[in-house]
Structure 1
């Protein structure tokens, strides 16, 4: 062997050993959120452990000394760790878990093989080893929002922005290395299609062997296999005493940063764009982004106000109610307001290409009851429905957005004759007197109102134990009086919907600044005080991006009310069963994964295991960016920590209720799996589970789906929709497994989520009713 060969092998060995340098983390090692909070790499540049999340919370991940986070655990569920977590432990059984004072341990990383040891390497890679010192998991293979030198983004892999600077959960932007070799940026919850992209390298056609790479000097480039394809950033930034990294920022722009190890300073070196309004979806629906002193701000359309102050992604909602078209009783009419030089998603339902004028375009929209807005450019008028998405100002774009708003009709007082002038003078005199009287009444009413409000505040602070003020100690729920919620809901007049356990009303709190949904539980479902306390304590501690958040409650005798966050986009049923607006295949599959994550949280990650008992599209509410959230815990059954099943009366909605309810068997979390399976089949087919308007063979959805699956007619389930047959078959197989009559055959929700994400194989399911023939 030559000397050069020996030297080369020695160099490789030395480099490998240097990369492996770490404080070896052995079984039984642990850290806590408040002291000894991380495992450091040998140089101390990188740490794995607890870092601040939200105001007083923590999350687990990898970070630099200035707490710049480069990797976050459990982003798909909830990165914020439970409040009762006492330590992060590499357990003697080979699991990396969050240990809690009460409840189940929470997996942080769960490889298929038992962990024997772990290392935080100097290159920022956190590595897990088996008993033979083989790598079984490494953070470099699971990037979140950051690439470090030596790390690669392979085909089909994505980076997701963080939700905010203090919340490292999944945000609203993604950067994807596509199968076709194109590196593309999209908003979070849209299909991989050109109309939704706002950045692309233009390397489509290069194939599925393309990867995104980052060198130590900040050179960011694409490789096709081992061959250079395209430089994105030429790099050349200092390396001595610096760590260069690429991060997809909260605002949807990916950048190169240099971290100075000496003074712990993070410097921005390069950006994919310098237009902060460029990312699509920076502002929510019915709003658009403009730069003011190079700071992006979201402005609402005319006739709209921000739905949630301080939250750009919440979008804007109307300040008036569309009660008719074109003229409304009571003297209301409509007009078109113009916004110039803006870009929007074009989701038009009609295009007029007659070289018409802006005025004619406005009239065409006003004369069409379905038209809520129109875009006018170069003589073309396109009619739009709401909501408008992806709005941003652009001086290079001459597009005009015309928006329908309401306006009051002012009575015409006539001409200028003497008689008419006398009438006008009399009118002015009447108006003056009326104005003085109204002013006096207003001052009097204001005084009375202030006195009543002051008294109510005093009463509110003095709510007794009987009223439920101290009823749910230890949770951050607001206690309301019945009178408070009666006023907030305008006397329970604006009904949002009805469920099996009660009626939901729209409400306004905090001086009209916060919209809420108030659920008034029916008396037959309003259980006793002790059980109501238990449910509040449990539900109040739940926090997951796919669960509707409980904000407060009222317990006043027979009046039991729950106050939830308001979801402006309605329920899944509203969009799923409407053939004109139902989401496309990719959007529906994303919704299904959202729901499965929420159910998984209830089943395995709560302090107490919860069986929801009423999973159905009407109880899935749609947040911003089509984020699905589970609601209505009025029928939920809580299980104690050592309890796996329960016996109780039938709960739920016909068509979604698992067979074991009717057979008076023990109820487990598998009952929710059945309901989820029925709903998944509805999501696939965009139809209700029971529809007697169809033929006898198609009336019961799960029977029709299995028949189509068994006879090879899968395509008929999605009609004319363009979807790969393999994708439909995969989802159908998951649904059939979930609706098995034998609960033991149904998968757990964790297995369901893995199947939905495509990480595990799906065996051929049996006929769901085959269990019955064996009885």
Structure 2
């Protein structure tokens, strides 16, 4: 038998005669073996791993895992984990399309003492010495293989993660792969992978932030940059504007401005560094320098950077500010030179001098031509004056006919909300092969300046990109039709997941809460233009195939008429989630979303709606009042009754309850920002004892 690898190279030759190959078997461990008549294993898949190891599998010296290129591309990617001959277990980035290691971004520091990486049946992944003694624990799932299926994967983004899948038949526990209790390696790849060559965890000109699943989320800078290939974000981002001219005869410095991002840096790509300077000096220096794409300012130092930018990151630990040069939105291109009139006047003179007798006829002809020209120019001007979103980067412009065909005449309705009606559709790929499902939202009751607002909001929404936001894929802006095309969320909305007969996994609810908090924090603080959602509720949080939470309908509140809402008038939002300031003629800020999130967080904790008419105990009818009473009485057990996972993590439950009570304070100034809420939920900062609110909206 001849066994080949994917490239066609021979791996193993097994003679069919004598003691050659007799059978192949896939063992319960997941190991595929080839054996002879004496049950001697001639070849096994555990000795030739790809990106995954399973319980009972061992990585011996010289063996390595290679991450796949992307989620759907299983060819060798940009990262590898190697059990080195010297005893060190090392994570490397690689020079993609070549097979050599680039930069080590994590190592076990067991050089001289390490020998093998073992994944045993108790869920432990550890390094052993030559005498088989354990010298370092790498991962621990918290359960044995009797309780769950397990795997450890070197993900395509360079994170070494352990996953578990419950074997239990309990109907209340969802059957999905979830991350194990142990921390991923490295803890924050955005901060820990900083290489002199290559793009970093994400592609060039991108910004890396750590997602709620402890894996990197890659985004383009919020204004002026778009994905080079939206289907392959590892290729990075490009400038979606003409760069500053270096032609001194045509200076265009006044057409550019600096977009500010706090706690952001591209630590490589420097070409100049100026110590002991002011921020104003740094700004002016970058604006006047045609080579400068970004200036980084921190601790009175100024760094100027050129394209491509690498190793971009945003995190509280990055105590620097990025000043990103972009073309001003209202800047225009230089007008084209007017055509000279000689080409018209010269023939007129010749004709006039040679055909004097036909002067009247010629004048009549010129009048007709002039009328036609004016009419054509007027038509063009009417078209150019019409509001449009043509050219919004990365989005597909659909005609109404295409939308109608994609939805089969708007046949299957997915839901209705304050912003419009949503239908299920199927869109063919631009290459003509295959396609994918989409959610088509038909907007209604726009403001009087709906066209202008639609154009402005479309541009803002198209520039957002975050793991916990539903991705906008296209739009229709034809005649009176205002339609948005979103990615399709197969697991519907959070309300359908949360409010049912059995309680979903506490671990999954924690992930959802953290994901929604990160998405709101991004909308409030990390977008080029701050977005206030105004209607955070379980129906506006959608779940994808992996039950990752994604916020929908963000950025659309400005498009609605003043009284547009399902259950309220003269305000935005849904009863039970609306912040008190809506009723008090107070200024509205991002803190209204914080309040709504606080109510949503309590619903996630207790797996019930904010208002519950059918309850035996009257104090339990209003969730926010009941939780507050339980907390101040020092008894949180009733909130998670019959929830084994949650009762096993009462410290986490208390942290979430405290955070929620801070969010629903009646005084907006007492509510934390969503960025701080996110840190509270993750346990990165302590949650102080919340004050006792005076009352709650019932």
TM-score normalised according to structure 1 size: 0.42
TM-score normalised according to structure 2 size: 0.46
